[in-house]
Amino acid sequence: MPPGEPLLDAATEAALLADARAAQQHAYVPYSGFRVGAALLAADGRVFTGANVENAAYSPSICAERTALPQAVIAGAREFVAIAVVGDGDGPCTPCGVCRQTLYEFAPDVLVIAAGATGAAARYVLSTDLLPHGFGPPRLHASARPPEGG
């Protein structure tokens, strides 16, 4: 993220991180033991939280970010300002590739605040820092007509 004005004021960021840490307590992680919490701030001020929920079959496991986002969407929120992601261990827990793509659908320019149990939080803008040249709805709509013979 380029230096300059913070995208979120310090108090809002601290509250969002606290929400993510609270949600992290509800993670179900018998396989990795790595708890993640997320708190997604919608443009209307509502906050939706999530935590990772793992599965004995492994692949149905879902990340914290992707438990928060659908809750927001089904509650009518589709514009987002920021998401705080907090993992165990030292240093920022940055979103995995699937979560980056999932967030990109609704909020390419969302601010991602990543933190760990210890160490400083890091701030990223999704579209520029975490998923440059991402594939989103405008690209799909731009080629709504299938090519000849395709």
Catalytic residue positions, numbered: 65
Kindly report the number of other CB atoms within 10 A of residue 102's CB atom: 17
Axis-axis angle for helices 64-74, 97-106 (nearest 10): 20
In three-state form (DSSP H/G/I as H, E/B as E, the rest C), the secondary structure along 26-58 is CCECCCCCCCEEEEEEECCCCEEEEECECCCCC
Pick between residue 34 and residue 135 the one whose CB is nearest to ligand THU.
Answer: 34
Pick between residue 12 and residue 52 the one whose CB is nearest to ligand THU.
Answer: 52
Start-to-end Cα distance in the chain = 40
What track of x and - describes contact with ligand THU for positions 5 through 44 (by CB under 6 A)? ------------------------x--x-x-x--------
What track of x and - describes contact with ligand THU for positions 48 through 77 (by CB under 6 A)? ----x-x------x-xxx------------
Q: Minimum CB separation from ligand THU for residue 82, in Å?
A: 15
